[in-house]
Amino acid sequence: MLSPMEHLHPTAFFIRGASPLARLAFYAILSIILIGVDARLHYLTEIRQGISVALYPLEVVARAPVDAYNHVSEYIHTQTTLVAENRTLREKALQDSENLQRFNTLQAENAHMRSLLNALPSLPQPARLGEIVHSGRDLFTRKVIVNLGTRHGIVPGQAVIDEWGVVGQVTAVYPLNSEVTLVSDNDLAVPVQVERSGLRAITGKNSSNSIGLPFLPVNVDIQPGDKLVTSGIDGVYPAGLAVCNVVAIDRKIDAPFARIDCTPSAGIGIHRQVLLIPAAVTMQLLPASPEPVDKSAAKSKPSGKKPNAPRKP
C-alpha cells in the first residue's frame, strides 16, 4: 500500500544524465577542440561553404524587403538631386552667359581704347605646367621642389601660380628641378594692392601660417575680407593675380603701425600641379621685329632737296 505522499511525485519518464554544469563544460571543451582543429587542418571549410550556398536563397528572400526599400529611396533621392542640380546648372549657365557677354563687350572696348591710344596689344604669357615633387629640407623656410629646371627653360624669378592665386616664386634653378619659395615664407615680399580701394602695399613677415602687411598706418583703408592682388610694379608678377585675403586687423592706438593678418589665396599644401609663368618685365622687354624696308621705294623717293641750278657761263 502506497504512502499518502508517494502519489505526489511525478513518474520519471526520462532518465536523468549528467548535470547541466558538466554538460556545459563538455560542450565548451568540444567547441574549443573543433575550433583548434578547424584552424589547423581546415576540415570544416567545405562544410561551411556548402551551408552558405544552401542558405543563400534564404538570405536573398530575407533581404528582399530591405533591398527594395533601399532601391526606392535611392531612386527618389537621385531624381530629387538631379532635378535640383539641373535647376542650379541652368541658373549658373544663365549667369555665365551674362558674364560672357559682358566679357566680350569689355574685351572689344579694351581693344578699341588701345587702338585709340595707339598702345601695343598685351603679350601672351607662355607658361609651363609643373608638379611639386617634395617640400624643402629646411624646416625654418617654406619652400617646395618642382620637377622643372634649366633643361625646361625655367629661370630664377618666375612666378608660380595655381588656379586660385599666387603660390610663390622660383628662387633657385637646377638642371632637372627648381626651388620655389612659397608666398607664405617670411623672406618673400610680393607687391600687392587692395582690389577694393587700389591701396598698394608689400607682403612681409608674420606668423608661420599667415601673411602680413607691415608698415601700414593704423588708419589705413583695409577691412577684413579685402582681397589683395598683385600690383605688377615689380616686373615679376603679372598684375591682377590673387595673393591673399585679409582675415584680421589689430589697430592699437599706442602702436605706429597696424597688424594685418592675411591668408594665402592659393591652395598651398593642397595642389601638386602648379603653373610657372615668366616674369612680366621679361615679356615686355622682348625685342620687336624690325619692319622690312623697301629699298626700291627708298631710291625712287625724292630726297626733298632742290637740284643745283646750272652755272651761267
- Quote the CA–CA distance of 44 and 48 in Å, as a whole number: 6
Q: For residue 56, what pLDDT is reported?
A: 77
Residue 58's identity, in one-letter code, is: L
Q: For residue 302, what pLDDT is reported?
A: 47
| Residue 294 is assigned to a structural domain of this protein | no
Taking only the tens place, the pLDDT of each residue in 64-113 is: 888 888 888 888 888 888 888 888 888 888 777 767 777 777 877 777 77
| Residue 36 is assigned to a structural domain of this protein | yes
Interacting residues of 248 by C-beta distance below 8 A, sequence separation 6+:
224, 260, 261
Domain span including residue 225: 128-284
Same domain flag for 134 and 82: no
- Quote the CA–CA distance of 116 and 127 in Å, as a whole number: 30
Q: Please return the burial class of 227, using the count of CB atoms within 10 Å of its CB with bins 0-12, 13-18 and 19+.
A: middle
Same domain flag for 140 and 106: no
| Residue 176 is assigned to a structural domain of this protein | yes
Lowest mean pLDDT: which of 7-11, 116-120, 206-210, 236-240?
7-11
Q: For residue 283, what pLDDT is reported?
A: 44
- Quote the CA–CA distance of 110 and 125 in Å, as a whole number: 18
**Backbone region of residue 232 per phi and psi (left: phi > 0; alpha: psi in -120 to 50; beta: other values):** left
Quickly tell me which residue has 504512502 as its cell.
3
Same domain flag for 69 and 155: no
- Quote the CA–CA distance of 259 and 252 in Å, as a whole number: 8
Q: Average pLDDT in the 53-59 region? A: 81
Please provide the DSSP assignment of 51-114 as one string. HHHHHHHHHHHHHHHHHHHHHHHHHHHHHHHHHHHHHHHHHHHHHHHHHHHHHHHHHHHHHHHH
**SS3 helix, strand, coil % of the chain, rounded to 5?**
35, 20, 45
- Quote the CA–CA distance of 127 and 118 in Å, as a whole number: 27
Q: For residue 14, what pLDDT is reported?
A: 53
| 3-class secondary-structure state, position 141 | coil
Same domain flag for 205 and 95: no
Provide the domain count of the chain: 2
CA 17 to chain centre: 75
Q: For residue 3, what pLDDT is reported?
A: 54
Same domain flag for 49 and 143: no
| Residue 299 is assigned to a structural domain of this protein | no
Same domain flag for 136 and 106: no
Same domain flag for 139 and 233: yes
Lowest mean pLDDT: which of 41-45, 165-169, 173-177, 286-290?
286-290
Domain of 265: which CATH number?
Answer: 2.40.10.340
| Residue 302 is assigned to a structural domain of this protein | no
Q: Looking at the whole model, is its pTM more than 0.85? A: no
Q: For residue 169, what pLDDT is reported?
A: 92
Same domain flag for 140 and 269: yes
Q: For residue 232, what pLDDT is reported?
A: 85
Same domain flag for 173 and 261: yes
| Residue 309 is assigned to a structural domain of this protein | no
Confidence band (pLDDT; 50, 70, 90) for 237?
A: confident
| Residue 257 is assigned to a structural domain of this protein | yes
Same domain flag for 76 and 185: no
Interacting residues of 165 by C-beta distance below 8 A, sequence separation 6+:
241, 242, 243, 244, 264, 265, 266
Taking only the tens place, the pLDDT of each residue in 6-39 is: 555 555 555 566 788 888 889 899 888 888 877 7
Q: For residue 191, what pLDDT is reported?
A: 92
Same domain flag for 63 and 204: no
Q: Average pLDDT in the 183-212 region? A: 85
Same domain flag for 137 and 226: yes
